[in-house]
A and B are shown apart, each in its own frame.
Chain A
């Protein structure tokens, strides 16, 4: 079963085409990485899948259904989107923020029910953030906040999780923490689409990697086939060394002398 199917997708901002003819299939349960240089169109692609932007050409299907035909409230139960930047303007508690994720399940005007509270607590447990459930969201560190944001996304019980550089502001300890959580979620059957600049991190645990440059698909394959000297040179205009990870044998890049 395919979680996401994309056919001939095109998109432009102000008449400037940022995505050309993207076609892609993501299997349910896959841990899917998207990498590419700045301005390649990664975030645009992610937002198109999330339904936040409307494709002008081409088709996106979620579990066999056309994205356009899915009601917004229903879509919110299938997909959770976590943007790169997460602002908070008011000092909600962590639990309140996570309960926002229950929005699609509630009728208009309805207060969160007991089962919503249970779902939120469970999401906080999964992301290891339960201990600060009553704290003010504005007082958390970046690492803590990222776990809360993940819990919020999980509270919607999504089948697909879209993440835009979830590790970009974190030190390696917290990066590893987030990745561990994502792996756990993936093992529970959630399809994860993960967008990152960190090629090595992506190569370590993604089943497949989608390399995007100038809005075009360069290659989409297992890490071993995507991260090669040839493609990296072509896309990033660098000549790095590619070595294999001593444990997982996944390709890792090492920058040459600068």
Chain B
């Protein structure tokens, strides 16, 4: 019963966020003409649900897999690699709306491959190896991004928005269709992550115990790493490296609803999506100047997180 309630509560929050975000904006709202809410606000809301939800859920599954509360979707280097790709695309790519998303996703794939190869020791993937390789790759790509920023003579603020996350990507019909394709690909990936909830629960004990209970920890680590990397690659390609959500949303959920991944993963999706919609509402309400999303997630999210932490202690 309590479980059901928690789902409803967060679902309600999400619906509230969607309605609010759909109705608010500089051009106002009238039922007689829904062009702007449908064409401009709705794609943005869907992008926020997708990005926030994926980051929350991937954060939850990676924290569960690595049994480390400091892991977030970017620990495995994917965001840095995607940012690197995006910056390359931005600086050297051909004209077009696809350039940055495609380059970002290529960067994510390349990083995933590199991290995986680095972490592979004697045909086995170790969790510590993955985290180390991810952190090392993060540093490498962050450095290369800095280098490109210094060497480029294009406006730096554009790259900063790319690195800090933004939901004001301008959709055209074609871009919207490719985003929908990504969305459709992501649904089975998310479902796959969710289907691992019991294995992740068992993994929160000693790895050998999990193994003796029939969990193939190698396979699990590998499949969650690849699934997460793909999903994070998609998110960074469209929204940039939005921080905080992937790290803190799973914590908030666990503090309130306990650590059972059966609840933590979908609830992290719901809360991540709602939080990002609200954050985006703030980001575009300070318009005409758009703020990078991570600025707001940090400024509003961290105090809330500290409050929860203190309350719990």
Direct contact of A and B (CB under 8 A): yes
Tell yes or no: A106 within 8 A of B by CB. Answer: yes
Contact of B213 among A76, A87, A91 (CB under 8 A): A76
Q: How large is the interface on A (under 10, 10 to 19, 20 to 34, 35 or more residues)?
A: 35 or more
Tell yes or no: B212 within 8 A of A by CB. Answer: yes
- Contact check, A81 vs B212: say whether CB atoms are below 8 A apart: yes
Contacts of A81 in B (CB 8 A): 208-209, 212
Contacts of A76 in B (CB 8 A): 212-214
Closest beta carbon of chain B to A10's beta carbon, Å = 19
Chain B 91-137 residues near chain A, CB threshold 8 A:
none
Cα distance, A50 to B207, chains bound together (Å): 13
Cα distance, A7 to B216, chains bound together (Å): 26
Cα distance, A242 to B67, chains bound together (Å): 47
- Contact check, A92 vs B260: say whether CB atoms are below 8 A apart: yes
Contacts of B208 in A (CB 8 A): 47, 50, 52, 81, 83
- Contact check, B209 vs A83: say whether CB atoms are below 8 A apart: yes
Q: Mark B202-230, 1 if CB is under 8 A from A, else 0.
A: 10111011011111100000000000000
- Contact check, A100 vs B260: say whether CB atoms are below 8 A apart: no
Contacts of A103 in B (CB 8 A): 198-199, 202, 213-215
Assuming the contacts A89-B67, A90-B254, A100-B201, asked whether A109 and B212 have C-beta atoms less than 8 A apart, the reply is no
Chain B 129-151 residues near chain A, CB threshold 8 A:
none
- Contact check, A108 vs B195: say whether CB atoms are below 8 A apart: yes
Cα distance, A214 to B205, chains bound together (Å): 30
Q: Which of A82, A83, A90, A110 has the most CB of B within 10 A?
A: A90
- Contact check, B212 vs A52: say whether CB atoms are below 8 A apart: yes
Q: B194: nearest residue on chain A (CB-CB)?
A: A109
Q: A100: nearest residue on chain B (CB-CB)?
A: B202
Closest beta carbon of chain A to B265's beta carbon, Å = 12
Closest beta carbon of chain A to B79's beta carbon, Å = 24
Contacts of B204 in A (CB 8 A): 88-90, 92
Assuming the contacts A103-B198, A106-B198, asked whether A91 and B206 have C-beta atoms less than 8 A apart, the reply is no
- Contact check, B214 vs A86: say whether CB atoms are below 8 A apart: no
Q: B259: nearest residue on chain A (CB-CB)?
A: A90
- Contact check, A100 vs B212: say whether CB atoms are below 8 A apart: no
Number of interface residues, chain B, beta carbon within 8 A = 26
Chain B 229-254 residues near chain A, CB threshold 8 A:
254
Q: Mark A112-156, 1 if CB is under 8 A from B, else 0.
A: 000000000000000000000000000000000000000010001
Contacts of A91 in B (CB 8 A): 254, 258-259
Tell yes or no: B29 within 8 A of A by CB. Answer: no
Tell yes or no: B304 within 8 A of A by CB. Answer: no
- Contact check, A100 vs B214: say whether CB atoms are below 8 A apart: no
Tell yes or no: A8 within 8 A of B by CB. Answer: no
- Contact check, A80 vs B212: say whether CB atoms are below 8 A apart: yes
Cα distance, A88 to B204, chains bound together (Å): 6
Contacts of A52 in B (CB 8 A): 208, 211-212
- Contact check, B213 vs A101: say whether CB atoms are below 8 A apart: yes
Cα distance, A17 to B63, chains bound together (Å): 36
Contacts of A109 in B (CB 8 A): 195, 197-198
Cα distance, A101 to B202, chains bound together (Å): 9
Contacts of A106 in B (CB 8 A): 198
Cα distance, A96 to B258, chains bound together (Å): 11
- Contact check, A73 vs B214: say whether CB atoms are below 8 A apart: yes
Q: Mark A64-88, 1 if CB is under 8 A from B, else 0.
A: 0000000011011001111101111
Contacts of A73 in B (CB 8 A): 214
Q: A73: nearest residue on chain B (CB-CB)?
A: B214
- Contact check, B202 vs A86: say whether CB atoms are below 8 A apart: no
Q: B68: nearest residue on chain A (CB-CB)?
A: A89
Chain B 170-216 residues near chain A, CB threshold 8 A:
195, 197-199, 201-202, 204-206, 208-209, 211-216
Tell yes or no: B262 within 8 A of A by CB. Answer: yes
Tell yes or no: A240 within 8 A of B by CB. Answer: no
Contacts of A90 in B (CB 8 A): 64, 67, 204, 254, 259
- Contact check, A50 vs B212: say whether CB atoms are below 8 A apart: yes
- Contact check, B212 vs A51: say whether CB atoms are below 8 A apart: yes
Q: A106: nearest residue on chain B (CB-CB)?
A: B198
Cα distance, A81 to B211, chains bound together (Å): 10
Interface residues of B (CB under 8 A from A): 64, 67-69, 195, 197-199, 201-202, 204-206, 208-209, 211-216, 254, 258-260, 262
11 A-B residue pairs with Cβ-Cβ distance under 8 Å, sorted by A, are A47-B208, A72-B216, A75-B212, A89-B68, A90-B204, A92-B204, A96-B201, A103-B198, A108-B198, A109-B198, A152-B205
